[in-house]
Structure 1
């Protein structure tokens, strides 16, 4: 009996009619009863809230009478009306003839467990809500990205179509301008003064410059649609061929061209030829005023990638404007100093990026420039 009185759980007994016969000290405390209470005034079902009393009366006691015991989660009702969640066991004690002599019950306060479960449920609900909001946000972002990607693709397509149309439509009048200026110079020189002859030459040169610009613009617009034909490319041989095509024997006498052995690469030979042509062409152009031009082509290994390098000792550029270097129609030198269309490096960047690589440069004014590029 001392053990029962010392346990923190409620222990109670009652007759089959629901009259309470005994509460231990923990039971009296849990229910808010004073010690020495006349238990004859207490009905067993009155110590439960209505829903728990119904569960015990309709399920707990019948099950215990039939099977000996029943256990489940119910609640006790304190005298002040406060509900205490409990884990309850009901035991039916029977006489030899099978009749029920009395019932006993043990109830353990599970308030902390219930609070913990409620907190976990709130956290789970909040997490699910947050996950739902994240999913909704992700879907919204994906839809926006898809929408903007579609708009960008449409805009790029329109720009490429526009560039192609403009380039194509401008060729005919430019040919006419160049042709007529040549006719004036060849067949009507006697009717022109010196200034007229000079102006015809300016017209012809301007038409040819515009023609080169149109060619570069057309090449740039086609790069977005050109199919990449991958094959093994001998980069050493390709760089040597391009350099030979860009220079005359007389020019090569003043140029110290240093070509190292370069690693082969999987790429489109025609497009990579254009990369070398533009990079070597720039190196030749910007070192043209040097008494001895030095152009070096080699490769290094960086971050498990081959990095191809083109270095010259020419005019260089101010690194403050390096972000403009690969832009369309961007020039870091005046056309009077160095001719060009402002599209060469933009073409290089697009070709390199279509191969899964990157291109960048380092330089200083009047100290040459170094261009680097990788291929995926």
Structure 2
């Protein structure tokens, strides 16, 4: 992962930041500003998006055709978070199913792929120095599905495929520690919906699917590993979880019971927001939700007040798949079609 690519092939040569401002949406009291749009090649599939260490990180899997004789590698793009400048590209796992930045560390989970080709760093999590790219530790993790990190520690949801149990692992200082088994299978769908795992102030939150029909959000104690069911919804759609010091929210992508839910001791409560949401992010009591639209349609990003669950602002996105979003203290970054966009809110 730490080897720089000799050719930057994912960012268009004509890339230049573009700033626009949306008008206030009818009935809403806020405005979402599109600060810049950075083109990414239309053929690029993005499976990971993270903000940290002063940069925005975008992960993509290996692209066909594969070259025989060597494991296929994926790519990571690095953009300066202050001005959107593309800083560099690095090789990474061939199937990057998880991406996280915590403190000075970059973490990448390499999935198993479909076993038809040899993939670099398959069934591992690689911890690197975010500034230099130096690999610090490579953890062997079978079938990683989701990844979250805080400071020098990462948590991984692994397994949950076939008869393999779903397990929560802790990675720290080169050691892998099993924390607990989780009910059902993981609700993750890397690249299409966001992260089913979140490190929050009162524990680790993870979403799984039980009996192929019900999404269950569980809280795992960081200190003891004790697991408590928090929410249960009769839906098996793709899921994403986000939190800050004010609360925990999760979304489900499902035309029936889809929407955004507050993680609380509830069963089948009514959600808010869009049924076709694909990811969400939280920072400073603001909840950003990206609404997924495939193909030529335009997606959107909505901003909600976490205390009232009322939508404050929204903006339309360019045509193309709207999938992943990540937030920092200034706003949010979203993948929409062949663009990486920076958004900020006012009002």
With the shorter chain as reference, the TM-score category is under 0.3
User: Per residue, is there more helix in 1 or in 2?
Assistant: 1
Structure number with the bigger relative contact order (C-alpha 8 A, sep ≥ 6) is 2
TM-score normalised per structure 1? 0.21
User: Per residue, is there more strand in 1 or in 2?
Assistant: 2
